[in-house]
Amino acid sequence: MAEATENAAPTPPPPAPATSSPPPKSGIPPRYDLDAKWDACLDLSIRRVAYSSLAGAFAGLLLFRSPTTRWASVALGAGVGIGAAYTECSYLFNGAPPKWSPKVWTVPSAYSEGEDK
């Protein structure tokens, strides 16, 4: 009996437990995936508007006494959030902002290539 267990083929290891894998991607490059861009833009917009409105409300509570000026500070904060979200979303949809190279000023030389003196 001892000989039979020595010559037996090794048993394979037990299979790994099944893990949930993410669904396969659609194959669309990130540059052209409008669903992902809209999701990112909406998430960014909601966060920026909410956080800046809360900052405006907090500043209004600390700095102003009348309800009108407090609401104005909330509106200003919301406007800043909308503007920041709009700028960031336009970068998402249109690509990165252009990288401007610094202007190089050239000084004309006293002698040009075509002149012989």
pLDDT per residue over 6-59, tens digit each?
A: 666 667 666 655 555 455 566 777 777 888 889 999 999 999 999 999 999 999
Torsion sign over Cα 62, 71, 73, 90: positive
Q: Assess if residue 52 is contained within a domain.
A: no
- pLDDT tens-place string over residues 61-92: 999 999 999 999 999 999 999 999 999 999 88
CA angle, residues 96, 56, 68, in degrees to nearest 5: 135
Structure tokens at 79: 């406007």
Q: Assess if residue 75 is contained within a domain.
A: yes
Distances (CA, A) of 61 to 5, 24, 57, 70, 83: 81, 49, 6, 7, 23
Domain that holds residue 89: 57-95
Residue 112, pLDDT > 70, answer no
Q: Assess if residue 80 is contained within a domain.
A: yes
The helix (H) or strand (E) run that includes residue 71 is helix 67-94
Q: Assess if residue 89 is contained within a domain.
A: yes
Q: Assess if residue 15 is contained within a domain.
A: no
Total number of domains in the chain: 1
Q: Assess if residue 64 is contained within a domain.
A: yes
Contact 53, 78 (CB under 8 A): yes
Q: Assess if residue 7 is contained within a domain.
A: no
Distance in angstroms (rounded) separating the CA atoms of residues 36 and 33: 6
Q: Assess if residue 66 is contained within a domain.
A: yes
